[in-house]
């Protein structure tokens, strides 16, 4: 009898232990499946992503988000801001797998904020905060957020020089910015004075992948 082909979410579950160190569970499968359903439904009218099929969304967004995990600080609880989060990437997949993250999503586009509110409700992520606004302006409107985060994550929200300045508004002294980077060979950014920053290529041997990240630390 032919072997049944695994679904995209089943493929994702097999990658979770390699990427995060957490065992994959049936609950992870249920939550990621619902997230995928919502993404596909809303994407028909709201253009959340250019990826249109379940396999491409799971690999290109959900799994890609989990590639951030090895670079995050290890302490828990860990307060994380995802700035320019769009449809919740990378923050929501990271939070689904690791309940020790205290996640705040910052997004400027109203329709995507509405989608994120639906994700929060449907996935039961009751401790996840969603803030509407441009990341650089949000801390003026919500001064309680300034300097309060252990880490900031971002996936192609802005060029690194701009991103560093915005992330520094959110980070505690010693806090870490982790942002997805360019393809290898395009790493030309120089860290600004006073910032410890680097391009870091991270291998994922179990998946046969490598990924480039921009990593910067706010001075203590």
Tell me, what's the pLDDT at 64?
95
69 closest CA partner among 99, 94, 92, 35: 94
Q: Match 């994959």 to its residue by tokens.
A: 24
What the block records as the tokens of 75 is 């302490």
Could you tell me which residue, 192 or 173, shows the higher pLDDT? 173
Determine which of 1-15, 45-59, 70-84, 181-195 has the lowest per-residue pLDDT on average: 181-195
Cis peptide before 90 (omega within 30 of 0): yes
Q: Structural domains in the chain?
A: 8-217 (3.40.50.150)
Tell me what the mean pLDDT of segment 82-109 comes to: 97
- pTM of the predicted model, to two decimals? 0.93
Tell me, what's the pLDDT at 158?
67
SS3 200: strand
């Amino acid at each position: 009898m032919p072997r049944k082909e695994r679904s995209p979410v089943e493929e994702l579950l097999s990658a979770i232990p390699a990427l995060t160190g957490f065992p994959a569970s049936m609950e992870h499968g249920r939550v990621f499946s619902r997230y995928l359903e919502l993404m596909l439904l809303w994407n028909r009218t709201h253009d959340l992503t250019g990826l249109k099929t379940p396999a491409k969304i799971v690999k290109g967004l959900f799994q890609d988000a989990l590639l951030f995990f090895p670079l995050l600080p290890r302490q828990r609880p860990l307060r994380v801001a995802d700035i320019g989060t769009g449809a919740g990437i990378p923050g929501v997949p990271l939070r689904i797998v690791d309940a020790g993250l205290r996640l705040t999503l910052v997004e400027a586009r109203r329709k995507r904020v509405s989608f994120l509110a639906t994700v929060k409700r449907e996935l039961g992520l009751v401790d996840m905060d969603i803030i509407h606004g441009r990341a650089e302006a949000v801390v003026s409107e919500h001064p309680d957020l300034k300097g309060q985060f252990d880490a900031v994550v971002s996936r192609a929200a802005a060029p690194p020089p701009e991103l560093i300045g915005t992330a520094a508004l959110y980070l505690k002294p010693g806090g870490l910015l982790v942002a997805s980077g360019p393809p290898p060979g395009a790493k030309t950014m120089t860290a600004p004075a006073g910032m410890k920053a680097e391009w870091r290529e991270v291998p994922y041997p179990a998946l046969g992948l490598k990924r480039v990240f921009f990593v910067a630390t706010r001075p203590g």
